[in-house]
Amino acid sequence: MTTATALFHDLTGAAPHGVWSSPGRVNLIGEHTDYNDGFVFPFAIDHRTSVALGLRDDARIRVVSTFDPVPVEVALADLDTLFPARRDEIVEWARYPLGVAWALLRDADVDAVSGVDLAFASDVPVGAGLSSSAAIEGATASALNDVWQLGRDRVALAQAGRLAENDAVGAPTGIMDQMASMLGRADAAIFLDCRSLEADVVDLGFAAAELELVVIDTGVKHAHSTGGYGERRAACERGAEIMGVAALRDLAPADLARAEELMDDVTFRRVRHVVTEDQRVLDTVETLRREGPRAIGHLLDASHASMRDDFEISVPELDLAVDTARAAGAVGARMTGGGFGGAAIALVDQARVAEVGVAVERAFAAAGFAAPHIFTVRPSEGARRDA
């Protein structure tokens, strides 16, 4: 794979000033709870996006990537007119790094920072629900924060990434992905309160328990900036309004009986998923601390059923991946990410990883689905400077 440094050299003929990277993430549990001010439990993975950065002698920013070799260049002063009003003039992938630059400069003096060239390379699968977008945002934010000497902490950089994704890209996501990418630690997950942004690093203990986290990328692509994701968010906001609360985070499972009386069936099921998923996050963290990772399988299974039946964001490929992994001996399994495609995850004994992979591949072939991409990920550290 072409590295960010090699791509930078191809672009400029020079060596970069530095190289930064940021990981994708797997959400162990807590789906569509983040923008409802709820709880999530993601971890950074050992697949990363790298950016090589060089300083320019003008006030322009130029971005290029291995997945789109055509550079995109704009004046730093023009970012404020591009986003969000004219974002459609920018090719979608470039909105992520340019959007981060725009978000960071909203509270900075644009005349005091130098122009930059940014070259990106990544091994985070795109469209698999592993947040390749947050990896781009985290790498960009870390690099620009350093070279522009902005002095932002990691939470502020995550907030800049979220602002870029919401307003520059147009994807109505929460802040979970960016926080996981910025705060990740080896063999640990981030228990995040999405209202207060209070984050607690919780040991997962996968290695000691001889467990691996298997990702089953179905190859079915999704896009958060279109369609179903926005409709689900609107339903959640409608449910909160009906119940007279600021966000669904403020409801407990005991409130669901009243909610069912007040709402149409679809809105109620959307609300029920979020309320019960919040509780599953809390239960997962408590169970991990008390009993270890082998005891959380039923919570992963229940999360998938809720996303499949109540939130209706699964697809046949994801359901087959989850069901087959469980039947082949996984401790637990669920789809991960925003849904409508992407990946499933399965918590599997190290000795059974190959067996589960073969079972899923055979099941996909028998169903006439395209072959899935199956690999393991390990909880890893967050954004960093590499060179």
Residue 213, strand partner residues: 347, 377
Q: Is 167 a catalytic residue?
A: no
Burial 324-345 (b: 16+ CB within 10 A, else e): bbbebebbbbbbbbbbbbbbbb
Q: Out of 177, 217, 278, 301, pick the active-site residue.
A: 177
Burial 48-83 (b: 16+ CB within 10 A, else e): bbbbbbbeeeeebbbbbbbeeeeebebebebbeebb
Q: How many CB atoms lie within 10 A of CB 175?
A: 23
DSSP string, 144-175: HHHHTT----HHHHHHHHHHIIIIII-----S
- Torsional sign, CA 100, 102, 106, 109: positive
CB 62 within 8 A of CB 118: yes
Give the catalytic positions in this structure. Answer: 177
